Homo-oligomer: A and B are copies of this chain.
Amino acid sequence: MTRSNAIGLIRSWVDSANDPLGDFPLNNLALGVFEAGNGPRCGVAIGAHVLDATALEAEGVLDLHRPICAQPSWNALMAAGPKAWAAFRAQMTALLREGAANQAQIVPHLHSMAHVTLQLPFTVAEFTDFYAGRHHATNVGTMFRGAENALPANWLHIPIGYNGRASSVLVSGTPVRRPWGQVKGPDDSAPRFAPSQRFDFELELGAIVGQPSNGPVSVGQANDMIFGYVLLNDWSARDIQAWEYQPLGPFQSKATATTISPWIVMRAALDPFRAGPPMRETPLLPHLADAGDNFHDIALEVTLTPEDGTPETITRTNTRELYYSPAQQLAHHTTSGCPMRVGDLLGSGTISGPTPDSRGSMLELSWGGQSHIKVNGTPRAFLNDGDTVTLSGAAIGKGYRIGFGPCDGTILPALENPYAP
């Protein structure tokens, strides 16, 4: 059961924030970094506007007793800790609430979202990608190893994950260049170096670590360390992955780009949408055992827009399809004593649902390329040049929703020759 009925819309004097279909009601207070001709600044999404938090702090209207918005990233707020996170939300809510006293002071710092460009909302310290969706792991395992061996032996006992590449994390809207790589088909006698022909998206939720750790933490402690969430598309070159991944895991196949939504939704904004764990056929060992409702009810969808086509929604699913919560992923990450840092980003792994139209990657939607899906009436297996992939997601409350804004990227053709000077 989710708690989505526990709270209603908090009305704002910014009219557009009261739109029941908008991503950014006052309940959300999503965090981004925007540029409106005055250098990059910290911004808070409110309806169809971005509120310049850097300006508010400079004027003393926002005051957390230490600089939070001096740098164009939200890492300083993360580092300030959970009390500061709550104080920030309380101050912002008071400023933007219907009937607030000081509207005239705020209005000059509201920018139309249509007229700003958005940058990465935080500095990514390190990036880890998990594999915590059971339907996805089962689908991929069935394709690669057969239905009997679909789930690896360890899968029901630990959230499998691997370290990714923080340098390749991009903000939504940044084009993504189709990669080259070494590939070898099952019938090829030797590998060759070529542009990827099986370039794919992965629909994921990203969790942002807001507090550091220096030793193993419990699932409950891990939950408290999470600052917020983004949507995350872990672009994947399946042909490169198939050739490189044994025995040490994916490497270049996942290093071209990972796109995140421009807005961080803070954990507190999603608290009314917390949900319990899935049924577990095998109990988890105590260090990973479920500790409260650390899952969320967030509806997700993926839209594919071909270069000369119209947007078509190709999958609909929900974060409740995850088998391991972000808190369990983070707790597992610390078992060895691995230090976690402010700004670490944890991708959930692909979130697929149980049905063919709820699969979170082209690999699954086309079942390894064997069974094409139709997009604008044309059969498709993987991504074409010019395709735009848009992830969207929202927790649906009574009369409002908590969204992330679109998380999109357009595929550019591969370089003609990557070694041209």
Interface residue ranges, A against B (CB under 8 Å): 125-126, 131, 152-154, 157-158, 160-168, 177, 179-182, 184, 190-193, 215-216, 218, 237, 240, 243-253, 255-257, 285-287, 332-333, 335-341, 344, 415, 418-419
Contacts and interface: CB of A to CB of B under 8 A. Distances in A.
A164 to B, nearest CB: 6
A335 B168 contact: no
B244 A154 contact: yes
A256 B383 CA distance: 38
Given A161-B251, A337-B256, A341-B167, A193 B285 contact: yes
Copy tally for this chain in the complex stands at 2
A335 B338 CA distance: 29
Given A157-B191, A168-B339, A249-B162, A180 B333 contact: no
Nearest to A243: B154
A345 to B, nearest CB: 13
Given A157-B191, A163-B165, 9 more contacts: A126-B167, A131-B248, A154-B182, A157-B190, A163-B251, A240-B336, A252-B333, A256-B338, A257-B337
Contacts of A237: 336
A168 B341 CA distance: 10
A337 B308 CA distance: 26
A162 B165 contact: no
A162 B256 contact: no
Contact of A336 (B154, B245, B253): B253
Contacts of A415: 215-216
Contacts of A337: 168, 177, 179, 255-257
A246 B154 contact: yes
